[in-house]
Amino acid sequence: MKNFLSVHDAASIDTLIERARAIKADPVAHGATGRHKTLINLFFNPSLRTRLSTEKAGTTLGFQVITMDMAGGWKLEFEDGVVMNLDRAEHVKEAAGVLSQYCDILAVRSFPALEDRAADYEDRIINAFKKYATVPVVSLESATRHPLQSLADCITIAEHRRKERPKVVLTWAPHPRQLPQAVPNSFAEWMTAWGEVDLVVANPEGFDLAPEFTAGAEVLHDQTKALRNADFVYAKNWSAYADYGATTERPDWLVDTDKLAVTNDAYFMHCLPVRRNVVVSDGVLDSNRSLVLEQANNRTWSAAAVLEALLAG
């Protein structure tokens, strides 16, 4: 694997899942994989799981791991051909070139501004690093995708499925803030590419994800209908793609035990952080159906499988 920016970079999802589960089963046996190699993680916005699980994956494999918070540093210029006489101290061309000399794998985290859809969907930060770095680049969540989360979700579903082809429902849920589409975009893209589940996406009218991500899934605007016979229910809020960045209240979309009664005793999933009793009730999160901590655990093993595949080239 050359880079890891989306599911399209993965030659085989099943091989990545297999490798993640093998490293998870015996982390110590893989402690030499990244020996004398350096992983640099760059964060343009804050993170808890992604930062710590990727650092843990790197150190588990024996990498030297360096993490840098770019929010507190100087601002990078991403535009080509500009006169750099304002506040942006360094062009990404130099920054990516310099960092490539200090590491063997470069991982980058960025967020969308949720104002200009075309600008966000260009995914400029991650693509600039891909263009100018001379080492493999990993997305630690970009403006439009969160592939390490989605791979962790595939691992979690593979570990818990009780039938060959489970029904997986991705449902929009309420949230007080304006959130990116990266997690649901990526989840839909990975589930359909994996081809081992039936994916249904449920969201209020006006909140359909970009069609390029949901192709191959059924999209419904009736949550109860979508949840019927589900084996896995993945809740996530996202702001609108059509009326870009718009939000809506819709407390009736909260996931609670009554909603899950129509499912096939479904497992509950969420990428975290989750707003209790806004997105999902305490009753669901605290029940034995919740897989949220196992998803977070699998973030380490998904990152480890990806780092291993990138070293292999």
Minimum Å gap between C-beta 177 and ligand SN0 is 5
CA dist., res. 109 & res. 146, Å (int): 9
CA dist., res. 306 & res. 43, Å (int): 18
Complex with ligand SN0: residue 103 or 152, whichever CB lies closer: 152
| 157-196 residues near ligand SN0, rule: CB under 6 A | 177, 179-180, 182-183
- For 242, the token pair is 């059509």
Complex with ligand SN0: residue 38 or 178, whichever CB lies closer: 178
Query: Residue 21 interacts with ligand SN0 (CB under 6 A)?
Result: no
Query: Residue 271 interacts with ligand SN0 (CB under 6 A)?
Result: yes
DSSP letters along 2-35, please? --BSSGGG-S-HHHHHHHHHHHHH-GGGGTTTTT
Complex with ligand SN0: residue 251 or 273, whichever CB lies closer: 273
CA dist., res. 192 & res. 15, Å (int): 16
Complex with ligand SN0: residue 24 or 146, whichever CB lies closer: 146
Stretch 238-267: interaction string toward ligand SN0, x if CB under 6 A:
------------------------------
- For 48, the token pair is 């808890």
β-bridge partners, 90: 76
| 58-77 residues near ligand SN0, rule: CB under 6 A | none
275, 283, 294, 297: residue in contact with ligand SN0 (rule CB under 6 A): 275
SS3 per residue for 214-252: HCCCEEECCHHHHHCCCCEEEEECCCCCCCCCCCCCCHH
83, 273, 288, 313: residue in contact with ligand SN0 (rule CB under 6 A): 273
Compute φ and ψ for 234, nearest 5 degrees: -110, 115
Query: Residue 143 interacts with ligand SN0 (CB under 6 A)?
Result: no
Which residues contact ligand SN0 (rule: CB under 6 A)?
Answer: 146, 177, 179-180, 182-183, 271, 273, 275
